[in-house]
Chain A
Amino acid sequence: MLRKGIALAALGLALVGGPALAAGDAKTPEPVDFSFKGPFGKFDQAQLQRGYKVYREVCAACHGMELLSFRNLGQKGGPFYDPDYSNPNDNPYVKTIAAEYQVNDIDSETGDIIQRPGTSADAFPSPYPNEAAARAGNGGALPPDLSVMAKARKYGPDYIHALLAGYREPPAGLTVAPGQYYNPYMAGDTTPFWTGEGHAPEGGFIAMPPQLAPDKVTFDDGTPSTIDQQAKDVAAFLYWAAEPKMEERKAFGFGAMIYLVIFAGLLYASYRRIWRNVAH
């Protein structure tokens, strides 16, 4: 008979029929049991705060997050949401974070470009003034903006965690060019650089050196700061950054589902009643 995959209905097909990765690509990231997974999943605020700290102290040196503003940190569901400050612009913690950054502005008197401390309404400033500067600072590679990174890669936060915690010594026989690092989760093809036995190792090369190290970030809540923990936390934070309305969406969806199911039941009863004397 036909392959099982072929027999899938159009819908199922749509789900699995996405692009297949080329044979022998990157390692599939191991699923992390993040608190926000599943239909009822929510963000873990403490984790988001730790993740923000990792982003701030490690990633932000090279990666921007320009679609987010400081106020987002204090909005409902965000890492520094405080029910006392339902307007995130007034949240003192958010204001302090914003003020730690210098943002570009124009002096309304002189027209000069100036730097001033950020306010909660400001967007996160990018670490480099422009793309050329970003490339120049990173050996020609461009550190991508992280605002929607957790949605812009297959496996999303699982991938981010796997990549950050997954650097390995390159296997003997793999030539790694200067300024490049081997990572089994990175997309790419190692075949041209492989002189060893058998199949070339999975994964590819990345221009970002390993960033995380034990105790590199001190977690204020006392969580042991392992590489794995840092990677998980920053992945969770980036998922929040990419999908800040997730909790609202699921809550809305839960209500909508209940409503629709009851509605369907009523319509079905009505339908049976209307049709019950028709032979068809």
Chain B
Amino acid sequence: MADTVVGENPDPHAAGEDPNRRDFIHIAAGAAAVGAVGALAWPFIDQMNPSADTLALASVEFDLSKVALGQQVTIKWRGKPLFIRKRTEAEIAAAVADDGANMPDPEADEVRHKPGKAEWMILIGACTHLGCVPTFAGGDYGGWFCPCHGSHYDTSGRIRRGPAPLNLPVPEYEFLSDTTVKVG
């Protein structure tokens, strides 16, 4: 069988010629190949980002009249639970009273609700520890309690005790009227 050997192959880089010029064209061709792959990489990465229909669902409108005083309604927003809680006077007072307390992520109750709408506490219901859904009205502070690893949140959704590092986040939202809110 063909006992082929590599041998006196003509040297591709032979002949007396300016070496810089000689290499340039190969480098340019190689760079073009890398560039082509690089340019195509983006569409293949971006396709995993949220698609247009997913983004379109990113905002929801909610009718607040469905929430009774002292109760909470949980709706799905961007795939996550969204807490809409109508706080009682006592709960608001408890939250405001603790504004100065020592807590991991200090924040005043006032900045966690819209001005003049202290009864409406709208929060993303994902524990800032590892994402479990805290249970309503549980824990030492009467706000929420996360059963996974024991995080206690107060009635303002602030972390008071347990492994979670941050307060329950307040989403971007606005009141369209006294009874409707648009989240996102």
User: Which residue from A89, A108, A273, A278 sits with its C-beta under 8 Å from B25?
Assistant: A273
Task: Annotate A88-108 by CB proximity to B: 1 below 8 A, 0 otherwise.
Answer: 110000000000000000001
Query: Which of A30-38, A157-165, A199-207, A261-269 lines the interface with chain B?
Result: A261-269
Interface residues on chain A, size class: 20 to 34
User: Which residues of chain A are near B25, meaning CB under 8 Å?
Assistant: 266, 269-270, 273
| A259 interface contact, C-beta 8 A | yes
Q: Verify if B33 is at the interface (C-beta below 8 Å from A).
A: yes
Q: How far is the CB of B54 from chain A (nearest CB, A)?
A: 10
Complex Cα distance, B32 from A262, in Å, reads: 9
**CA gap between A120 and B59 in the complex, in Å:** 11
Q: Is the interface of B mostly helix, strand, loop or mixed?
A: helix
A69 with B56: CB separation less than 8 A: yes
Docked complex Cα distance between A259 and B31 (Å): 12
Cα distance A145–B46 in the bound complex, in angstroms? 30
B39 interface residue per 8 A CB criterion: yes
Q: Check B12 for interface membership: any CB of A closer than 8 A.
A: yes
Interface contacts (Cβ under 8 Å), in number, total 54
Q: Is A130 an interface residue (CB 8 A)?
A: no
Cα distance A121–B54 in the bound complex, in angstroms: 9
Size bin of chain B's contact surface = 20 to 34
**Interfacial chain A residues near B32, Cβ < 8 Å:** 259, 262-263, 266-267
Q: Give the distance in Å from the alpha carbon of A270 to the alpha carbon of B29 in the complex.
A: 7
Complex Cα spacing A108 to B25, Å: 66
Distance from B21 Cβ to chain A, minimum over Cβ atoms (Å): 10
Given contacts A266-B25, A266-B32, A270-B25, contact A121 B56 (CB under 8 A): yes
Q: What separation, in Å, do the CA atoms of A75 and B53 have in the docked complex?
A: 12
Asked if B101 is at the interface of the complex by the 8 Å CB criterion, the answer is no
A71 and B56 contacting across the interface, CB-CB below 8 Å: yes
User: A109 within 8 Å of B by Cβ?
Assistant: yes
Collect the chain A residues with CB atoms within 8 Å of residue B35's CB: 259
In A253-280, which residues have CB < 8 Å from any B CB? 259-260, 262-263, 266-267, 269-270, 273-275, 277-278
Tell me which residues across on chain A come within 8 A of B22, comparing CB atoms. Answer: 273
Q: Mark B27-65, 1 if CB is under 8 A from A, else 0.
A: 011001101100100000000000011011111010000
CB distance from B67 to the nearest CB of A (A): 11
What's the Cα separation between A266 and B35 when bound, in Å? Answer: 13
A72 to B2, CA, bound (A): 64
Interface string of B2-25 (1 = CB under 8 A from A): 000000001110110000001001
Evaluate contact between B53 and A69: CB separation under 8 angstroms.
yes
Residues of A within 8 A of B15 (CB): 277
- Asked if residues A269 and B29 are in contact (CB atoms below 8 Å), the reply is yes
In the complex, which residues of chain B have a beta carbon less than 8 angstroms from the beta carbon of A109?
A: 66
Interfacial chain B residues near A87, Cβ < 8 Å? 55
Contacts of B58 in A (CB 8 A): 89
Residue numbers in B under 8 Å from A273 (CB-CB): 12, 22, 25-26
* Bound Cα distance A259, B53 (Å): 32
**Docked CA distance A119–B53 (Å):** 13
CA A277 to CA B59, docked complex, whole Å: 67
For A71, what are the chain B residues with a Cβ–Cβ distance below 8 Å?
52, 56
**Across the interface, which residues of B come within 8 angstroms of A274, CB to CB?**
12, 26
Instruction: Pick the residue among A88, A119, A263, A277 that contacts B10 (CB under 8 A).
Output: A277
Return the chain A residue nearest B9 by Cβ: A278
Give the A-binding residues of B (Cβ under 8 A).
10-12, 14-15, 22, 25-26, 28-29, 32-33, 35-36, 39, 52-53, 55-59, 61, 66, 75
A-B contacts besides A109-B66, A266-B28, 17 pairs, CB < 8 Å:
A89-B56, A108-B66, A108-B75, A121-B53, A121-B57, A259-B36, A259-B39, A263-B29, A263-B33, A263-B36, A266-B25, A270-B25, A270-B26, A270-B28, A270-B29, A273-B12, A277-B14
Instruction: Give 24 CB contacts A-B under 8 Å.
Output: A71-B52, A71-B56, A88-B56, A89-B58, A89-B59, A121-B53, A121-B56, A121-B57, A262-B32, A263-B29, A263-B33, A266-B28, A266-B32, A267-B32, A270-B26, A270-B28, A270-B29, A273-B25, A273-B26, A274-B12, A277-B11, A277-B12, A277-B15, A278-B10
The 4 A-B residue pairs whose C-beta atoms are closest, nearest first, are A121-B56, A266-B29, A270-B29, A263-B32
